[in-house]
Amino acid sequence: MELLVAQINLVFQILTLITLFASLLAKKMRKLFLHGTMMLIATILSVISLTVVMLPSLLNLRGFLVDYPFSRLSIVIFAHALLGALVEVFAFWMVITWRLRSKLQYCSRKKTMMRATFVLWLAALFFGVLTYLYLYGSSI
């Protein structure tokens, strides 16, 4: 059952990645409201994944993390959790402060933070895939 939940979450993360890239395409086409809406959707998907799958998984691994804090798996999990938490905070803050605006001037002030959040999200995704491979790689 745990493997099935992890596989579903991996698909969920891939769908979130597709949503993020579609959002970037909407931005390039100057469809800023669509871009913002898609970012809202990606943020909601991420929060759902975090609360339904990732936090319970992390809690299930806490014994291992405490007993082996410097193992490769623990370091990868800590990196994933730290980067993921930063991304959640940044994305949530940007979406909340955006409030469905469609004007470019508001977004351009947050451009650096948006790019940094996207890069951090990609790094968190990388460490999440590594975590998946460490935990379930032999089951693939």
- What is the number of other CB atoms lying within 10 angstroms of the CB of residue 57? 16
The pTM score is 0.83
Which pLDDT score, from 0 to 100, does residue 121 have? 92
CA dist 20 and 95 (Å) reads 13
Give the pLDDT confidence score for residue 70 in this predicted structure.
92
d(CA 40, CA 99) in angstroms, rounded, equals 10
Question: Would you list the domain boundaries of the chain?
Answer: 2-139
pLDDT score recorded for residue 100:
60
The predicted structure's pLDDT at residue 85: 93
What is the full per-residue pLDDT of the chain (140 aa) written as tens digits? 788 888 888 888 888 889 999 998 998 998 878 888 888 888 888 889 889 888 888 888 888 888 888 999 999 999 999 999 999 999 888 888 776 665 656 666 777 888 899 999 999 999 999 999 988 887 65
Across the chain, which distance is largest between two alpha carbons, in Å?
51
Rounded Cα distance between 115 and 117, Å, is 5
pLDDT at position 124 is 94
3 state DSSP class of 71:
coil
Check residue 122 and give its pLDDT: 93
Which amino acid, one-letter code, is at 79? A
